[in-house]
Amino acid sequence: MREQDNVGETVVVAQDGPTGKQLVAYVVPADANLADQAEFRDSLRRALKTRLPDYMVPTHFMFLAQMPLTPNGKLDRKGLPEPDASLLQQAYVAPETELEQQIAAIWAEVLRLPQVGLNDNFFEVGGHSLLAIQITSRVQAELGLEVPLVEVFQTETLRAYVQAAATFRAGSAEDFDDLRDFLSELEAI
């Protein structure tokens, strides 16, 4: 992470979160007047994803003016602030369609959050690979949609995931129609 532009100091620690251990990156930007922290966080996440497996990319990025130090001048890990997952959720956009509501309920339950909005990013609100597996399994068991696990990683937001899931639902219906037509043709022979 230190190789990235505008990163002064950084440390990554594993902390207990609502869904288990989560990696939290504490970053002191080289430019103290960093205007857009969200854009900077996203660029760091993208850069790390190109070089690290998903489970090694921090869930949270906390930007600090300076690292807390002990009287001896070493990093004071106990002085690092706890990440607040509610601050990482986007402005809440309620799910509207039945499919959006069903999948949002699954995400919220798996992520142990009171609600998940359409613009919430799975990884920013505490998601990780094991929870992605749980979501994939629950979506299949409860909704009958066989959405590949990779969709959680590729889509990231609830809105994009629901759009992908809808294509699998539509694809499934088309496949069923094709099969029914084929069976009708066989019966006619």
Domains and CATH numbers, the chain: 1-88 (3.30.300.30), 98-167 (1.10.1200.10)
Rounded to 5°, angle at Cα 55 from 53 and 57 = 75
Q: What is the pLDDT of residues 2-53, one digit of tens each?
A: 788 788 899 999 887 766 788 889 998 887 766 567 788 888 888 888 898 8
The interaxial angle of helices 98-111 and 129-143, nearest 10 deg, is 140
pLDDT at site 111:
92
Give the C-alpha separation, 118 to 159, whole Å.
Answer: 5
pTM flag (> 0.85) = no
| Start-to-end Cα distance in the chain | 66
